[in-house]
């Protein structure tokens, strides 16, 4: 007997045998019947609950193929989110209010999900503005991969003085007297940014559990039902996985999580993977929490940094032998693996290693993938396809596109990343965010970027050939992503026998104006036949809210993306993509580094005029 029946919906199933339906029945966590409302109601037995969807659009649950959920969950309740904030004035007001609420010795952290180009003012905050908003409470603001802004209180908290040396690959910006100004710069290694962030006080274990639940519920609100966790720096196995394990054992996961293991020890990467391959096997776990293999860091020498304000880094000559030893070990043990790679030049060298290993130990259907691959060439896409690999893409260009154009030009940006070409050439592609430290975790921001070809600041990146249809974009975020956890036969479609994960949308993704895609959310999210989020007309069906801990958490005031905030200012919204300019009013390169806004300049952007035009 079904556990739940949903009727009178507009189901876009992504099942080619039955692309649309109006009703589903769910039994034991799976779709047991997909069809029309009349037939499914006629077959109803007993007191199975029935929810009338009132003609709302229903899609398979979204699956983020590359996110840092586990690390992000431990810190979510600590962070003030600027996702979607329309003006810098709003952002600074939010910062000031949170600083007033935050007790000593805690910090206010703004970590990822925003770009200055989203603001009406089209600029970053100045250090003076940050110090005025928070004179006594430490503030850390991370900007993409290239810099962090610290107020005077944060400089005191981390102990940076005129005598503190610059770390390798990073710079502590100083004034004329040699004192730190509060700006930290990645040149090009972001380690200085992340290592400084790690100096802030962590939440106690009880609060980390609550924080992870809040983050999962925020993703549920946006229609996300599955994620693939790509590991991350300062995310040690098994210690930092204890919270997600605890929630899994308690039956409190509201997302399905497949997790990768990310080496943490430079020079000892092979030792890490040798230890882990003796401890755990890929696929170990269940449909809610399962191990997914190695990466996205395999060896430190293979990390090419993605800071487009800096020249492309050349990888070490030691990369090939170090990477070969690790990949050989993983393939011998049949471990799927993923590898962070931004530039085609790096990808070429990495593929040389993979092909060499494959000649000795055939990959033979083993799932492996590149993450990011912004500038991958057609030749290397073909090499990926020949080795049976996939490419997980994210909307990092939606946040860094203006900087990429500034360095490499419009013609290069039109193919960065070449998602349509990847699909045309038959490579598995999955959609994701790479949240939370740079891009937003909001899947609709990513889907908007794929469909419109625009950054969050309104700069048009892609012509018609580089954009995706809405159906194709959605498939990348559902069935496409399932390949990256070897679950393509289990989820990603509303299909009999597949896991019953779905989202009932607040508006019809397939027909609304492009600009409205960014505002979509789920009114009813179901994972394994269980309702994990309900809002609007479905509120009565939702689970009990989980109170936010601690009481001063930013999540209490701004529970997620800005549109959920209780108050908005009357400041103008940034331009839409059509005819918008993503850079006017902001200085070129070095001026951006000093966060000094300007009104006119004659650099690259001034010569071109406006960054947005129709191809």
Residue 590 has pLDDT above 80, yes or no: no
Instruction: Specify the DSSP class assigned to residue 164.
Output: P
Q: Tell whether 190 and 91 lie within a shared domain.
A: yes
Residue 526 lies in a domain: yes
Residue 141 lies in a domain: yes
What is the rounded CA–CA span in Å between residue 164 and residue 154? 15
pLDDT, position 559 = 76
pLDDT, position 227 = 98
Question: Helices (H), strands (E): how many in the chain?
Answer: 21, 23
Phi, psi of 398 (to 5 degrees): -65, -20
Residue 516 has pLDDT above 50, yes or no: yes
Percent of residues, the chain, with pLDDT higher than 70:
91
**How many other C-beta atoms can be found within 10 angstroms of the C-beta atom of residue 518?**
20
Residue 182: which domain range?
Answer: 67-201+556-564
Residue 353 has pLDDT above 70, yes or no: yes
The strand order across the sheet containing 170-174 reads: 108-111, 139-143, 147-150, 180-186, 170-174
**pLDDT band of 576, cuts 50, 70, 90:** low
Which stretches of 298-412 are assigned E, i.e. beta strand?
A: 337-341, 368-372, 390-394
pLDDT, position 361 = 98
Q: Tell whether 72 and 160 lie within a shared domain.
A: yes
Q: How many residues does the chain have?
A: 615
Q: Tell whether 17 and 81 lie within a shared domain.
A: no
Q: Tell whether 44 and 130 lie within a shared domain.
A: no
Count of domains in the chain?
2
Average pLDDT, the chain: 91
pLDDT, position 393 = 98
Tell if the pTM clears 0.85, that is, is over it. Answer: yes
Residue 174 lies in a domain: yes
pLDDT, position 599 = 26
pLDDT, position 189 = 84
**pLDDT band of 563, cuts 50, 70, 90:** low
Q: Shortest CA distance to 456 belongs to which of 5, 97, 114, 13? A: 114
Residue 582 has pLDDT above 50, yes or no: no
Q: Tell whether 41 and 142 lie within a shared domain.
A: no
Q: Does residue 435 or residue 605 have the better pLDDT?
A: 435
Residue 288 lies in a domain: no
Residue 189 lies in a domain: yes
**pLDDT band of 577, cuts 50, 70, 90:** low
CATH number at residue 48: 2.30.40.10
What is the rounded CA–CA span in Å between residue 94 and residue 81? 9
Residue 167 lies in a domain: yes
What is the rounded CA–CA span in Å between residue 489 and residue 105? 49
Q: Tell whether 56 and 72 lie within a shared domain.
A: no
CB-count exposure of residue 8 (10 Å: 0-12, 13-18, 19+):
middle
Residue 322 lies in a domain: no
Q: What is the mean pLDDT of residues 540-561?
A: 92
Cis peptide before 307 (omega within 30 of 0): no
What is the rounded CA–CA span in Å between residue 603 and residue 131? 30
Q: What is the mean pLDDT of residues 387-408?
A: 97
CATH number at residue 166: 3.10.310.70
Q: Tell whether 12 and 90 lie within a shared domain.
A: no
Q: Is 385 helix (H, G, I), strand (E, B) or coil?
A: helix
pLDDT, position 116 = 97
What is the rounded CA–CA span in Å between residue 544 and residue 542? 7
pLDDT in tens, 185-232: 998 789 999 999 999 999 999 999 999 999 999 999 999 999 999 999
- What's the Cα-to-Cα distance from 481 to each of 286, 334, 419, rounded to whole Å? 18, 20, 14
Q: What is the mean pLDDT of residues 462-469?
A: 96
Instruction: Specify the DSSP class assigned to residue 286.
Output: -
Q: Tell whether 72 and 180 lie within a shared domain.
A: yes
Q: Shortest CA distance to 158 belongs to which of 187, 129, 198? A: 198
pLDDT, position 569 = 39
Q: What is the mean pLDDT of residues 33-59?
A: 95
**pLDDT band of 585, cuts 50, 70, 90:** very low
Q: Tell whether 13 and 126 lie within a shared domain.
A: no
What is the rounded CA–CA span in Å between residue 66 and residue 382? 22
What is the rounded CA–CA span in Å between residue 250 and residue 205? 15
Most confident of 312-316, 472-476, 575-579: 472-476
Whether 216 and 73 have beta carbons less than 8 Å apart is answered as yes
C-alpha 580: how far from chain center: 25
Question: Which of these ranges, 310-319, 384-393, 565-574, has the smallest mean pLDDT?
Answer: 565-574
Both structure tokens of 91? 């952002």
Q: What is the mean pLDDT of residues 349-378?
A: 98
Q: Tell whether 72 and 148 lie within a shared domain.
A: yes
Residue 579 has pLDDT above 90, yes or no: no
Q: Is 66 helix (H, G, I), strand (E, B) or coil?
A: strand
Whether 538 and 202 have beta carbons less than 8 Å apart is answered as no
C-alpha 466: how far from chain center: 21
Q: Tell whether 45 and 72 lie within a shared domain.
A: no
Q: Residues 83-122, buried b or exposed e (16+ Cβ, 10 A)? A: bbbbbbbbbbebbbbbbeebeeebbbbbbbbbbbbbbbbb
Residue 528 lies in a domain: yes
Q: What is the mean pLDDT of residues 95-116?
A: 97
pLDDT, position 558 = 84
Residue 613 has pLDDT above 90, yes or no: no
What is the rounded CA–CA span in Å between residue 611 and residue 117? 12
Residue 169 has pLDDT above 70, yes or no: yes
| Count of CA atoms in the C-beta half-sphere (13 A) of 77 | 26
Residue 173 has pLDDT above 90, yes or no: yes
The strand order across the sheet containing 522-527 reads: 20-21, 10-12, 57-60, 502-505, 522-527, 530-534
Q: Tell whether 81 and 39 lie within a shared domain.
A: no
Both structure tokens of 190? 């972001």
What is the rounded CA–CA span in Å between residue 385 and residue 376? 13
Residue with tokens 């229609």: 223
Axis-axis angle for helices 205-221, 242-249 (nearest 10) = 70
Q: What is the mean pLDDT of residues 263-278?
A: 97
């Amino acid at each position: 007997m079904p556990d739940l029946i949903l009727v009178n919906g507009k189901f876009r199933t992504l099942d080619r045998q039955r692309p649309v339906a109006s009703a589903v029945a769910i039994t034991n966590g799976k779709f047991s019947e997909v069809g029309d409302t009349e037939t499914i109601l006629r077959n109803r037995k007993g007191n199975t609950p029935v929810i009338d969807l009132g003609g709302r659009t229903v899609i398979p649950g979204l699956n983020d193929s590359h996110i840092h959920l586990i690390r992000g969950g431990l810190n979510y309740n600590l962070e003030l989110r600027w996702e979607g904030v329309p003006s810098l004035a709003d952002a600074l007001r939010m910062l000031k209010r949170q600083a007033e609420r935050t007790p000593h010795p805690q910090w206010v952290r703004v970590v990822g999900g925003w770009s200055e180009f989203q603001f009406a003012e089209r600029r970053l905050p100045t250090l003076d503005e940050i110090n005025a908003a928070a004179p006594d409470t430490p503030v850390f603001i991370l900007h993409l991969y290239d810099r962090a802004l610290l107020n005077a209180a944060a400089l005191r908290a981390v102990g940076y003085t005129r005598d503190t040396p610059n770390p390798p690959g990073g710079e502590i910006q100083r004034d004329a007297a040699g004192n730190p100004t509060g700006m930290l710069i990645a040149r090009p290694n972001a380690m200085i940014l992340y290592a400084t962030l790690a100096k802030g006080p962590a939440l106690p274990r009880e609060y980390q559990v609550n924080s992870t639940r809040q983050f999962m519920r925020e993703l549920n609100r946006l229609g996300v039902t599955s994620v693939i966790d790509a590991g991350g720096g300062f995310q040690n196995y098994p210690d930092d996985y204890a919270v997600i394990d605890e929630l899994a054992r308690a039956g409190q996961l509201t997302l399905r999580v497949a997790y990768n293991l990310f080496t943490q020890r430079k020079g000892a990467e092979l030792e890490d993977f040798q230890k882990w391959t003796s401890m755990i096997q890929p696929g170990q776990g269940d449909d809610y929490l399962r191990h997914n293999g190695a990466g996205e860091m395999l060896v430190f020498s293979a990390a090419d940094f993605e800071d487009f304000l800096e020249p492309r880094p050349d990888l070490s000559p030691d990369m090939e032998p170090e990477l070969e030893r690790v990949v050989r070990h993983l393939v011998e043990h049949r471990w799927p693996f993923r590898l962070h790679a931004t530039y085609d030049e790096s990808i070429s060298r990495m593929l040389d290693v993979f092909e060499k290993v494959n000649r000795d130990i055939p990959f033979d259907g083993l799932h492996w993938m590149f993450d990011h691959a912004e500038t991958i060439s057609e030749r290397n896409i073909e090499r990926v396809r020949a080795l049976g690999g996939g490419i997980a893409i994210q909307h990092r260009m939606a946040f860094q596109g203006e900087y990429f154009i500034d360095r490499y030009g419009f013609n290069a940006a039109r193919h960065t990343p070449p998602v349509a070409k990847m699909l045309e050439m038959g490579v598995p592609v999955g959609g994701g965010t790479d949240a939370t430290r740079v891009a937003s975790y909001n899947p609709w921001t990513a889907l908007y970027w794929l469909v419109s070809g625009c950054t969050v600041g309104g700069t048009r990146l892609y012509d018609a050939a580089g954009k995706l249809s809405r159906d194709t974009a959605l498939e990348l975020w559902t069935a496409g992503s399932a390949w990256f956890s070897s679950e393509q036969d289990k989820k990603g479609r509303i299909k009999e026998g597949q896991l019953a994960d779905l989202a009932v949308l607040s508006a019809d993704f397939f027909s609304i104006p492009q600009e409205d895609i960014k505002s979509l959310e789920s009114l009813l999210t179901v994972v394994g036949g269980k309702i994990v989020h309900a809002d609007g007309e479905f509120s009565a069906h939702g689970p009990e809210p989980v109170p936010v801990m601690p009481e001063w958490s930013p999540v209490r005031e701004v529970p997620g993306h800005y549109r959920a905030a209780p108050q908005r200012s009357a400041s103008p919204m940034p331009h839409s993509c059509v005819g918008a300019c993503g850079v006017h009013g902001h200085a070129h390169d070095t001026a951006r580094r000093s966060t000094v806004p300007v009104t006119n300049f004659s650099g690259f952007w001034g010569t071109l005029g406006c960054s947005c035009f129709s191809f």
